[in-house]
Amino acid sequence: MLIMLEQTVKRILEAKVYDVAQETPLSPAPFLSARLGHEIWLKREDLQPIFSFKIRGAYNMMAHLDEDARRRGVITASAGNHAQGVALASAKLGIKATIVMGNNTPDIKIRAVRARGANVVLHGDSFDDARVFAEARMKAEGLTWVPPYDHPLVIAGQGTVALEMLRQHPGPLDAIFVPVGGGGLLAGIAAYVKYLRPEVKVIGVESEGSACFAAARKAGRRVRLPFESLDLFADGVAVAQMGSHTWKLARRWVDDVVTVSTDEICAAIKDVFEDTRSLAEPAGALALAGLKKWAERAPPGQRLIAIHSGANVNFDRLRHVAERAEVGEAREALLAVTLPERPGAFRRFAKVLGKRAVTEFNYRYAEASEAQVFVGVKIAERSDRPALVAQLESAGYAVEDLTDNEMAKVHVRHLVGGHSAAQIPERLFRFEFPERPGALGQFLGVLGTRFNISLFHYRNHGAAWGRVLVAFQATPADRTALRDALTATGYRFWEETDNPAYKAFLG
């Protein structure tokens, strides 16, 4: 392993990245530092020409190609930052590049890649679809594959981030937090840091819904996560399995891994904005989310760096991020509360809350003795939630804490309006489907007309995957046929019929 470490460090020192990449600043985060009681810096890879660190690895590998490989051209599959890195590198080096992207890739990313001269081919609805198609073209046309993370030269290019950080921060340093997808950035940084400054901790950060490195550490070997379990919110790191090269380095030289939720990522995006006025993409703020979570358990005064790895975010996603940031910062609790259906009930509820601010209140008259309300309440910190629930319960209210309920946050808060009046029972399902022009109509077409839809909610989040909540009328005898029909759509889905938010507001 020591030989592999030395070889990686040598490649990092010899990396050819600065023809196109910039040495990005290590910026202090004064507001967050003061709030958390630590010295925090952000490595600003969002300031690269493609707004992401990915240019380093892509260019370094392509700059090492021999003349024959350059003449034949390169190909890759990517819907994000790696695609832009390969496109920019190809323009600089005069190499023909083909980038295969899914049909659901947002237009802003397609335009960015085409603007740099690459040939964009749209195929399939997922990264795996695009990759299989690209690999077939690679073999048929004799092209060179440029992997997004799993290659020694790509790892070395990404590792130049660590070279810069240790030069920019020569003083005492406790830990560096690195976002983890396929592991190229993590492996490169870990190798360089552990070779020169072994006392500095290197900590990987993963999204809870795509934690392939954490799963591999637990199993002692690389693990492939099932696609249906992947959370695609932080799409830049939504990888089912670490690379082989990256795993060999990361398993030995990375100290720890932290997993974070969607809400915690959204809160970190807000923190980045408040300290830098930069809008991080979800994967770009991932490392900071992990730093914050780790720092809660650490003694004060730690000196910490988080990699701000990218800023390629669709503007339409920001409203969803803003909605989730307060929950992620533990500054808002979302509750289902039962109020008596009579005049003055809301006023009494507000008096019980006292000086706590109400951030949201959803209610519709239902002609019953009790009313279910969906309410958001400002809180000071995470530990304040149980106290708030206890306070309301002691005043005689029935309360369900929905703060961690994904369906409630994505759908129900926009749907509160009454229960089903149908005589036939409902079954409720949450779907994710490829987001592209006409996708919603195609989704409905695939569902067919056999089962009546009694509830439907869709809201565009500016992402590559749409999210839909659907209720179908189905008798107990129909349930197996219904699930078979939904499985046949090929879309990811989860049944939510027993979700307490559904029972409180919609069922």
Q: Where, residue-wise, is CATH 3.40.50.1100 in the chain?
A: 2-52+151-326, 54-145
Residues 53, 159: Cα–Cα separation, whole Å: 10
pLDDT above 70 for 421: no
Query: How would you write 199-220 as a 3-class SS string?
Result: CCEEEEEEEHHHCHHHHHHHHC
Q: Give me the half-sphere count of Cα atoms (radius 13 Å) on the Cβ side of residue 255.
A: 15
54 included as an active-site residue: yes
Rounded CA-CA distance 105/126 in Å is 9
Torsions phi, psi for 454 (to 5 deg): -110, -10
- Residue 26: C-alpha distances to residues 53, 169, 267, 306 (Å): 14, 8, 21, 10
* Residues 344, 350: Cα–Cα separation, whole Å: 10
- H/E element holding 68? helix 67-72
Give the distance, in angstroms, between the CA of residue 95 and the centroid of all CA atoms in the same chain.
Answer: 32
Answer with the residue of higher pLDDT: 24 or 107: 24
DSSP string, 244-272: HHHHHHHHHH--EEEEE-HHHHHHHHHHH
Which neighbouring-strand residues pair with 201?
Answer: 175
Indicate left, alpha or beta for 140 from its phi (over 0: left) and psi (-120 to 50: alpha): alpha
Distance between CA atoms of 291 and 285, rounded to whole angstroms?
10
CATH 3.30.70.260 fits 330-404, yes or no: yes
Q: What is the mean pLDDT of residues 60-79?
A: 94
Is residue 147 over pLDDT 90?
Answer: yes
Please tell me what DSSP assigns to residue 45. Answer: G
Q: How far is CA 184 from the centre of its chain?
A: 17
Classify domain 54-145 by CATH number. 3.40.50.1100
Instruction: Out of 90, 207, 261, 309, pick the active-site residue.
Output: 309
Top CATH class of 2-52+151-326 equals: alpha beta
pLDDT in tens, 437-458: 666 666 777 776 777 877 888 8
Rounded mean pLDDT of 335-360? 81
Q: How far apart are CA 26 and CA 11, in angstroms?
A: 23
SS3 430: strand
Say which range, 44-58, 99-113, 197-211, 291-305, has the weakest mean pLDDT.
99-113
Instruction: Out of 43-52, 347-356, 425-434, 457-466, give the one with best mean pLDDT.
Output: 43-52
Query: What is the helix (H) or strand (E) element at residue 44, kind and residue range?
Result: strand 39-44
Give me the pLDDT at residue 318, please. Answer: 84
What is 420-505's CATH number? 3.40.1020.10
Q: Taking a C-beta distance cutoff of 8 angstroms, is the pair 372, 338 a contact?
A: yes
* pLDDT value, residue 505: 80
The pLDDT value recorded for residue 235 is: 81
pLDDT for residue 217? 96
Tokens in use for 385?
Answer: 């939630």
Marked catalytic residue, from 54, 109, 201, 409: 54
| Cα 89 from Cα 74, distance rounded (Å) | 11
Position 372 confidence tier, pLDDT thresholds 50, 70, 90: confident
- CA 458 to CA 454: how far, in whole Å? 14
DSSP SS3 for 413 = helix
Q: What average pLDDT does range 139-155 have in this prediction?
A: 95
Reference 334, options 268, 269, 407; nearest CA is 407
Token digits of residue 112? 């960015």
| 252 in Cβ contact with 1 (< 8 Å) | yes
Whole-Å CA distances, 264 to 42, 278, 284, 410: 17, 17, 13, 15
The helix/strand/coil state of 46 is helix
Task: Give me the pLDDT at residue 160, please.
Answer: 98
457 vs 216 pLDDT, higher one:
216
CA-nearest of 133, 78, 71 to 101 is 78
Q: Are the C-beta atoms of residues 431 and 493 closer than 8 Å to each other?
A: yes
- DSSP 8-state code for residue 21: -
Structure tokens at 498: 């027993």
